Every structure is written in C-alpha cells, then in structure tokens.
C-alpha cells in the first residue's frame, strides 16, 4: 500500500514538473491568418521559449467553440465583431485590438479563366461554380457577398455559389478545381505553396466593408497561462510580426509602436 | 422562421439512395451469399470498406474524382453534362457508396441463412432461377430486406462528413439537415439547431422503433 502511494506521488510530481516547465498556449486562429501565425510561432518560441499550438477554423466557428468553453488562450479573429462579442460576454479580457486589415482576392486555378476586377467574369457560362466562405460564419465570405452586390452580379451569380465552411475549405474547392473560381484572402495566394498557381486579382477595397482583423486574450488564457498568453498577444503587434503580416498582403497600421 | 427545406432534401436523398441500393444490393448480396469465386473476399472487403473508413477519406476521394479536372468527373461532365461535386446527384452517388454495406450485409446474411433445400426444391419443381429468387427466396427473407432498407435510409439521414466535403452547403440542393444543424450551431443560432436536431431525433427514433417492432412480429409469426 505504502509503495503504491509512493509511486503515485512520484507520477504526480513528474506531471507537475512537466506542466510548470514547458509553457504552452493554444491559439485559435481564423483560417486566413494561419500562414502568418505559423511563421510567427518559431520566432516567438525562440524569443520566449513558449510553445504555441494552433487551432484553425472560421472565426464564427471558433467563437462558438470558445463560447462553449473551448480551452483556447488567445483568439486571432478575421474581424472585430466576433472577438468583441466574446469580450461582451466576459470571455475575453480585453476588447478586440486590430492587428491587420485583410484583402479579398478573386482566385482561379482553372486554365483559361482570367479573373476581372469588375467580377463580370463570374457571369460567363464557362464558370459553373463560384466558391465563397460561408458568410454566416466567415468574414471573408461576408466581404465576398458585399463585393458581388456592389458590382451588381450577385443575383445572377447566386445559383453558382458553393459555400466553404471556412476560407480554408473555400481555397481547397478552388485548388482542386471543383469550383472554377472563388473569393479567398490575399494571404492565401501569397503562401509558398500557392505562389504562381493559377491567377488572382485583388478586389477593389471600396466594394466591401474593411476587413479589420482583431485579436483578444481569452478568459481561459488569463486564468491558466496569463504570462504566456499576454506575451503572444503583444507579440502580434510588434515590428517583427508586422513585417510578416505585410509579406502576406495585409495592411498594418504603423502607429501602434 | 425555421426553414424546413433541409429536411426535404435529406428525405429525398435517403429515399433515392435506398431505392437505388435496394436494386443494386439484391443481386450483389445473392452473389456474395452463394459464390465460391476467389474474388469473393475482395468484393466483400470492398463492400464493407465504407463501414470502417472515415467519411473524410471518402469525401476527399469523391471531391477529387468528381471534380471536372479528373478523369471520372471530366467523363461525366462531357457525356452527361452534369457535375457531381456540389450537386444533389453527386450526393446520391456518394450516399450509394457510403451506405452500401448497410443494405448488402443484412440481405446477404438473409440469403446465407436460408436452407439450400428451399432453392433445390424450387429448381426441381421446374422454376427458373429468377422465379425462385422472386417467389421463393426473397419472400423468405422479408425481415432482412426490411432491415436493409431501414438501416440504409437511417444511415443516409445521418450522413455528415461526406456531404460536408463535397456538398458545398448550397440551400435547396446540398444543404441537408445534418449540415444545417452544424451551420446553425456554428452561427450560434441554438434555437434553430435545437429544432432541427429534435426533428431528426424524433424521426430516426420512430423509424428504428418501427423496424424492431415489425421484426419482432415476424419472428413471432415464424415461430407459430
């Protein structure tokens, strides 16, 4: 009996040792920023020794998960609305702070299609399916809908639309050519894998509401990993991080130095 | 207001899938139950694969195969002028494959459970194989047929992963009830999600209850 207690306490001690030593946080990341965050993680780890796990999804889906108690420490959203919603519910410790502004692009991976900025290309018969992210949960999907309405093609294109559950699945629909063309984030066409693949054109910013993207520290993060979570959150606004955001086509404001 | 369209699509899909599978599964199950071919094991394995494969594996294969840039998708688009990804037709094809074992297995075990004398007696009375199947064998495995039909129907209603990957969530075409629930939960409309989920729960409960009830009655009448 005594022996058991001894071993048990040894195991418990071991676990305690692990958890206090290796700092690790979990960050919920909107699909469009995953490439940036993936590039930020090694730099952050080098500077602070903190490990970061990421969970990727549409902002709406992640928000719903956080509202139901998902153990995420920081939330990097694709808009301001979802993180602010969490803040008002008391699930985030600060109001959403903008880290970058995203850009919408029209991308095709199908040979012989040349995207046009007036979106008239979408009306062509050769385009059977147009992929967009689900506007209910993905801010880039909402922006795509606004742009189509702005250029007055929405009603004709409506029946061609297919909805990805996040901007990531939307990209996959176009990439596999299951849809001839679609709207995704500029950051997605600037990744190493997508460089030079197909054609893309930036959609005029005046045609959709600005894609202001904000992040928050979550209640769970403050309660369990206060230091690491705050550190990562602040890291998003450093000069180093801004350079990487710019590399992926985001607009970052220079004032918050 | 609750949109009931996803349910109509779900039930249409389940109905068409079940009808198609019924026609496909009877000869297939008959062959599997009686054949001594060396390919039997391979075919049996293939039929059972959808039971164990994650729906995402099937979904991924369908997405690539049905897409217009690959052989099969191109062929279908060229000759039938339709595209299987993001369409109701595609969901039907995917469901038929996905639910195949649910129809074949019960019917196959039904055939296997029949005494060989039954068939031989019918043959010696001069009935053809087709007549024997229709008038002797099938009426004797009614319970298995019913199980196959109901399981297939219910399983198609419960389909989610495959549809999520190849459906594209198009209202009125590929937004089935299970996807609609997922969508409403994501958008934090818990009320609609609740209503949808409640309806599905009730419907599947009634369907399964009917099967167990009817099968039980069959068992009793058989014993008498």
Would you give per-residue pLDDT tens digits along chain B (224 residues)? 678 899 999 999 999 999 999 999 999 999 999 999 989 999 999 999 999 999 989 988 988 888 877 778 888 888 887 888 889 999 999 999 999 999 999 999 999 999 888 888 888 888 888 899 988 899 999 889 999 999 999 999 999 999 988 888 888 889 999 999 988 887 778 888 999 999 999 998 998 898 888 878 877 776 65
Which of B69, B166, B185 lies closest to A177 in CB terms? B69
**Could you give the CA distance from residue A253 to residue A255 in angstroms, rounded to a whole number?**
6
Which of A60, A129, A137 lies closest to B86 in CB terms? A129
Q: A64–B188: do the CB atoms touch at under 8 Å?
A: yes
Shortest CA distance to A77 belongs to which of A140, A133, A41, A29? A29
Sequence spans of domains, chain B: 5-223
Per-residue pLDDT band at A84 (split at 50, 70, 90): very high
Look up tokens 């989920």; give the residue. Answer: B197
B183 part of contact set with chain A, CB < 8 Å: yes
Measured between CA atoms, the residue of chain B closest to residue A170 is B168
CB < 8 Å from A in window 75-134 of B: 83, 85-86
Per-residue pLDDT band at A10 (split at 50, 70, 90): low
Measured between CA atoms, the residue of chain B closest to residue A63 is B186
Contacts of B194 (CB under 8 A, 6+ apart): none
Shortest CA distance to B141 belongs to which of B14, B48, B22? B22
Per-residue pLDDT band at A20 (split at 50, 70, 90): very low
Beta bridge partners of A25: A52
pLDDT of residue B188: 77
Shortest CA distance to A232 belongs to which of A243, A223, A221, A247? A221
Query: Chain B residues with CB inside 8 Å of A58's CB?
Result: 186
pTM, two decimal places:
0.80
Contacts of B191 (CB under 8 A, 6+ apart): none
pLDDT surpassing 80 at residue A252:
yes
Shortest CA distance to A248 belongs to which of A27, A40, A33? A33
B163 part of contact set with chain A, CB < 8 Å: no
CATH superfamily of B5-223: MetI-like (1.10.3720.10)
Instruction: Tell me the shortest Cα–Cα distance from A164 to chain B, in angstroms.
Output: 6
Measured between CA atoms, the residue of chain A closest to residue B175 is A163
CB < 8 Å from B in window 127-156 of A: 128-129, 131, 134, 136-137
Beta bridge partners of B172: none
**Domains of chain A from N-terminus onward:** 2-101+211-247 (3.40.190.10), 104-202 (3.40.190.10)
Q: Which helix (H) or strand (E) holds A213?
A: strand A211-217
pLDDT of residue A74: 96
Query: In the predicted model, what is the mean pLDDT of residues A233-242?
Result: 95
Measured between CA atoms, the residue of chain A closest to residue B66 is A178
Q: A161–B170: do the CB atoms touch at under 8 Å?
A: yes
B15 part of contact set with chain A, CB < 8 Å: no
């Amino acid at each position: 009996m005594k022996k058991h207690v001894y071993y048990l306490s040894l195991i418990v001690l071991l676990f305690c040792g692990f958890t206090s030593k290796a700092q690790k946080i979990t960050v919920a990341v909107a699909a469009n920023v995953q490439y940036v965050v993936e590039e930020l993680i090694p730099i952050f780890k080098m500077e602070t020794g903190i490990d970061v796990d990421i969970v990727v999804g549409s902002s709406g889906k992640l928000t719903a998960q956080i509202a139901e108690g998902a153990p995420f420490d920081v939330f990097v959203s694709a808009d301001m609305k979802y993180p602010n919603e969490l803040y008002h519910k008391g699930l985030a410790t600060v109001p959403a702070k903008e880290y970058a502004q995203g850009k919408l692009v029209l991308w095709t991976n199908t040979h012989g299609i040349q995207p046009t900025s007036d979106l008239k290309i979408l009306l062509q018969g050769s385009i059977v399916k147009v992929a967009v992210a689900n506007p209910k949960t993905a801010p880039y999907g909402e922006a795509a809908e606004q742009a189509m309405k702005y250029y007055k093609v929405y009603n004709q294109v409506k029946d061609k639309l297919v909805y990805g559950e996040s901007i990531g699945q939307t990209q996959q629909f176009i990439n596999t050519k299951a849809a001839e063309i679609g709207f995704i984030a500029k950051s997605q066409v600037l990744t190493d894998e997508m460089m030079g693949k197909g054609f893309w054109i930036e959609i005029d910013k005046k045609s959709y509401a600005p894609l202001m993207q904000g992040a928050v520290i979550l209640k769970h993060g403050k309660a369990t990993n206060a230091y690491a979570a705050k550190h990562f959150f602040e890291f998003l606004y450093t000069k180093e991080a801004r350079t990487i955001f710019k590399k992926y086509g985001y607009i970052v404001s220079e004032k918050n130095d | 207001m609750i949109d009931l369209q996803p349910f109509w699509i779900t039930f249409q899909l389940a109905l068409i899938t079940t009808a198609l599978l019924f026609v496909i599964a009877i000869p297939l199950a008959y062959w599997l139950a009686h054949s001594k071919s060396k390919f039997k094991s391979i075919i049996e394995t293939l039929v059972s694969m959808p039971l164990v494969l994650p729906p995402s594996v099937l979904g991924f294969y369908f997405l690539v195969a049905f897409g217009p840039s690959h052989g099969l998708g191109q062929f279908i688009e060229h000759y039938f002028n339709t595209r299987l990804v993001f369409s109701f037709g595609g969901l039907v094809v995917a469901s038929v494959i996905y639910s195949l074992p649910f129809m074949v297995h019960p019917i196959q075990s039904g055939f296997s459970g029949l005494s060989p004398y039954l068939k031989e007696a019918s043959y010696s009375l001069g009935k053809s194989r087709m007549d024997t199947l229709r008038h002797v064998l099938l009426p004797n495995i009614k319970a298995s047929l019913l199980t196959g039909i109901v399981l297939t129907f219910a399983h198609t209603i419960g389909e989610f992963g495959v549809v999520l990957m190849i459906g594209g969530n198009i209202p009125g075409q590929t937004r089935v009830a299970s996807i609609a629930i997922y969508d409403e939960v994501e958008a934090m409309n818990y009320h609609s999600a609740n209503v949808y989920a409640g309806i599905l729960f009730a419907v599947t409960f009634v369907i399964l209850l009917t099967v167990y009830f009817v099968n039980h009655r069959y068992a009793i009448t058989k014993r008498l």
